[in-house]
Amino acid sequence: MPKHLIVVESPAKAKTMSKYLGKDFTCLASYGHVRDLIPKQGAVETENDFGMKYQLIEKNKKHVDAIVKAMKKADSLYLATDPDREGEAISWHLHEILKQEDVLDDKPVHRVEFHEITKTAIQHAIESPRALSENLINAQQARRALDYLVGFNLSPLLWKKVRRGLSAGRVQSPALRLIVEREEEIEKFIAREYWTIESDLNTKGKDFVARLTHFNGEKLEQFTVDNGARAAEIDAALKAAAQGRLQVLSVEKKQRRRNPAPPFTTSTLQQEASRKLGFTAQRTMRTAQQLYEGMDLGHGEVVGLISYMRTDAVNLANEAVAEIREVIKDRFGADNLPDEPIAYKNKSKNAQEAHEAIRPTSAARTPDAVKDHLKPDQLRLYELIWKRTMACQMVPAVLDTVTVDMAAGEGNVFRANGSTVVKPGFMAVYQEDTDDKPKDAPEGVTEDEKLLPPMEQGESIELKAIRPEQHFTEPPPRFSEASLVKALESYGIGRPSTYASIIYTLESREYVTLDNRRFKPTDVGRVVNKFLSEHFFHYVDYDFTARMEDDLDAISRGEKEWKPVLQDFWVDFKNQVKEKESVDRPGVEMMEEECPKCGKKLAKRLGRNGYFIGCTGYPDCNYTRNVDDAVGASNEPEIVPDRKCPKCESNLVIKRGRYGRFIGCSNYPNCKHMEPLEKPADTGVECPECKQATMLKRKSRYGKVFYSCARYPDCKYAVWNPPLKEPCPQCGWPILSIKTTKRRGVEKVCPVKECGFAEPYEGEVPFAEPPKVAAV
């Protein structure tokens, strides 16, 4: 009987497929990429028609050896890596390695592609193999070469001009520019004052609110009333004109429909998981990968729960739509099912129509049906995908909207808006969230979902109060993960599968930090962005990056050759790198102030831990001070009074590191004792793991508060939320923690993830951080 070897990327996928394919197939995993460019100059031979020098990835050598060994015994090879460029490249690299090992002979080699790991999809793929796609392979090679050429030529320049150890990336650099430019926009922002005039009204025993839209016949714009004196004048005039009553001028009623959002793409899944679940892009993709590769649902049934999660397509297979419509009819009623299936079109010109949107592999497999077999993250993400998929094929929601205009004397008009849901349609299952709603959005920007009391033209309405309200315009918000992904997509920077790695790279290089789940550039990030924007603007330009992505897509479709694209890029880029080797170092700002030690000029410089002020006479003069220290301050460290180092009895001093100020030993590096500047607060809650000490409130190196055992590092138990001295009623864990989210409010939750216990909490949150108050 013939024996076949089938190779996939992950062991989880291999395990799932082995159950479907039977004894005739041996299923092995490559564990991702198996070859990469050699990590040194010359890996891309720019003078030799862009030849690429690859080497085996050391950590995957044992997995490749296992594949080579199995291929010797097999009669044919099936390459079943992911259905995208990266997957195609992995299959090609495996094919090249097996050729070099001389184990293929004349054995047939098949490339199989499927978008969901179900028995039917895999069997169909095995029956319909294809050859390796040269176009997809060339597109991936071109992308890898571009990233290599940018990294290996720009990074050494950053080492010379900014700081050792830095690096620049082709898609990360424009993403960094987005974040830095937003921060500069926030810093330059000047708040403007404006006032709105609202009225508290009552009719038929129901209170409601209306906003002034016209005064003395003039339509009010945002800044028409820009000071308290003018607001007080209008307030007095309106009260005098109204005499405690408003007259209804008009009542306008409309019925409108709201359509459901399309099914998930990679980008929209990352955005919604960030908004609704608080997941990072990496956490979303990691969890989605697990759902795709296959979950054990008991009784020996292992199945992929969702279709392939790296996609920019919004279309759904006809068979999937038919099943979705059946589930909608059974669970939500025939009145929520449109007469015809709803078709969605891709807005992206480069969307791969052969792919599907992200959907459950079986719509009949509800979240309730699988919840006992999934971890909490997996269940929450699966439920999000299932609900969005159901909603996308349901009827629109129908809303009645009412606009009532009321007069307060001649030429003065108050307007009240309201709406009611007549037929919820898809909204009964799912509604899409949005980013960054303005706090004081003008009418029409945010929807008022309140029901107004019935009113008729000419009716007199009781005026209870007129309220002038002061407001200030706010700067644009910093990017969250969701809004950054949305911006990257809109500019065409990268592709859906790269968004998570772009964000991870910016954080790991310490170009940005997360502050209250918003991205803020570091000093290093600002200097790198300034250097690239001033000297390599063409390559961090949003349009250039998008055009390069278009070229890669054209290569994958066979419309362009990959080597001429590389040649066009390389000629200009090489010349520009050479020209910029003589430019001045960025991150150095000369100051008028003189050094208190030697009299030479001082300069603001970028150091290892951010900006500092130092003498231009270095190394002859070693004067330095922190940027926020007083003029003329000594660079001698501040000694901690009445304390000695517990290890060596030397003086303790206050130092500054990359994560802020701390106490360290003056005998460093001979003694490396250090401790936080602020003593951690004791919660009084006993550590549930070691039961030998209490939990302390601490701050991480990035400033995030957490709670950990006082015996650290002997006991490493820690939680992010304030601990509560109360056992879990569900699993008996000795403590609970108090979690606060926008969606669910304040809850008591069990720190044991597998438990899932949660209930509302009414008391005061102990040891919580005080809320941040924005300065006006």
One-letter amino acid of 233: E
Q: Which two tokens stand for residue 504?
A: 């991870």
Rounded Cα–Cα distance for residues 232 and 64 (Å): 78
CA–CA distance, 424 with 400 (Å, rounded to integer) = 11
pLDDT at 447: 41
Distance of alpha carbon 212 from alpha carbon 415, whole angstroms? 6
Q: Count CA atoms closer than 13 A to 730's CA, side-chain side.
A: 13
So what's the pLDDT on residue 742? Answer: 63
Whole-angstrom distance, CA of residue 51 vs CA of residue 36: 13
What pLDDT does residue 629 have? Answer: 67
For 334-369, give the secondary structure using H, E and C: HHHCCCCCCCCCCCCCCCCCCCCCECECCCCCCHHH
pLDDT for res 446: 39
Assess contact for 209 and 416: CB atoms under 8 A.
yes
Report how far apart, in Å, the C-alpha atoms of 709 and of each of 568, 606, 677, 736 are: 58, 36, 18, 15
CB atoms within 10 A of CB 445: 9
Q: At what angle do helices 172-188 and 523-535 cross, to 10 degrees?
A: 110
List Cβ<8 Å contacts ≥24 apart for 23-27: 25/78, 26/70, 26/74
Q: Which of 351, 265, 313, 356 is nearest to 553 (CA)?
A: 351
Nearest Cα neighbor of 416 from 452, 391, 446, 369 is 452
Q: List the structure tokens of 296.
A: 């054990």
| Count of CB atoms situated within 10 Å of the CB of 746 | 15
Give the C-alpha separation, 733 to 748, whole Å.
Answer: 13
Nearest of 12, 21, 1, 22 to residue 73 by alpha carbon? 1
| CA 584 and chain centroid, separation | 35
- Neighbour order of strands in the sheet with 4-8: 25-29, 4-8, 76-79, 109-111
Q: Using 50 as the pLDDT threshold, list the residues of the chain that sit under it.
A: 1, 349-353, 438-448, 770-776
Q: Return the CA Rg of the chain.
A: 32
Q: Tell me how crowded residue 102 is: count the other CB atoms within 10 A of its CB.
A: 9
Angle ∠(482,373,271) on CA atoms, nearest 5:
5
Residues belonging to the active site: 308
* Cβ-Cβ contacts under 8 Å for 250 (sequence gap 6 or more): 403, 404, 405, 457
pLDDT at residue 540, as a whole number: 82
Two structure tokens written together for 26: 């041996």
CA distance 419 to 450: 6
Distances (CA, A) of 425 to 258, 332, 346, 428, 490: 9, 9, 23, 6, 30
Tell me the two tokens of residue 179.
Answer: 């974040």
Distance CA 682, CA 298 (A): 45
Q: How do beta strands 736-741 and 745-749 pair?
A: antiparallel
Q: Which two tokens stand for residue 688?
A: 């549930």
End-to-end CA distance of the chain: 78
- Burial state string for 647-664 with b = 16 or more CB within 10 A and e = fewer than 16: eeeeebbebbeeeeeebb
The structure tokens listed for 484 are 């950054």
- Cβ burial of 607 (10 Å; 0-12, 13-18, 19+) is middle
d(CA 317, CA 267): 20
For residue 70, the SS3 value is helix
* pLDDT score for 494: 82
Q: Given this model, what pLDDT does residue 438 score?
A: 47
* Alpha carbon separation from 573 to 147, 158, 524, 535, 548 (Å, rounded): 12, 15, 24, 11, 13
Tokens of 453: 């009391």
Judged by phi (left if over 0) then psi (alpha if -120 to 50, else beta), residue 333 lies in left
Q: For residue 355, what pLDDT is reported?
A: 74
Rounded CA separation 455/563 (Å): 71
> What's the confidence (pLDDT) of residue 753?
79
Q: Give the distance, in angstroms, between the CA of residue 486 and the centroid of all CA atoms in the same chain.
A: 9
Cα separation of 201 and 408, whole Å? 12
User: CA 320, 326, 329, 331 torsion: positive or negative?
Assistant: negative
Instruction: Quote the CA–CA distance of 8 and 15 in Å, as a whole number.
Output: 10
Q: Which two tokens stand for residue 183?
A: 């921060």
The strand pairing partners of 719, in sequence order, are 707
Which token pair is 591? 């100051």
Reported for 362-368, long-range contacts at CB under 8 A and 24+ positions apart, including other chains, are: 362/118, 362/323, 363/320, 363/323, 363/324, 363/326, 363/327, 363/389, 363/390, 364/323, 364/326, 364/327, 365/305, 366/327, 366/331
What was the pLDDT predicted at 219? 95
> For residues 26 and 5, what is the distance between their CA atoms, to the nearest angstrom?
5
Joined together, the tokens standing for residue 618 give 């270095």
Judge contact between 320 and 356, C-beta under 8 A: yes
Dmax over CA atoms of the chain, in Å, equals 98
Measured CA distances, 617 to 366, 623, 637 (Å): 70, 9, 21
Question: What are the two backbone dihedrals, phi and then psi, of residue 426, each rounded to the nearest 5 degrees?
Answer: -65, -25
- What is the C-alpha to C-alpha distance for residues 77 and 691, in angstroms, rounded to an integer? 56
Residue 29, strand partner residues? 8
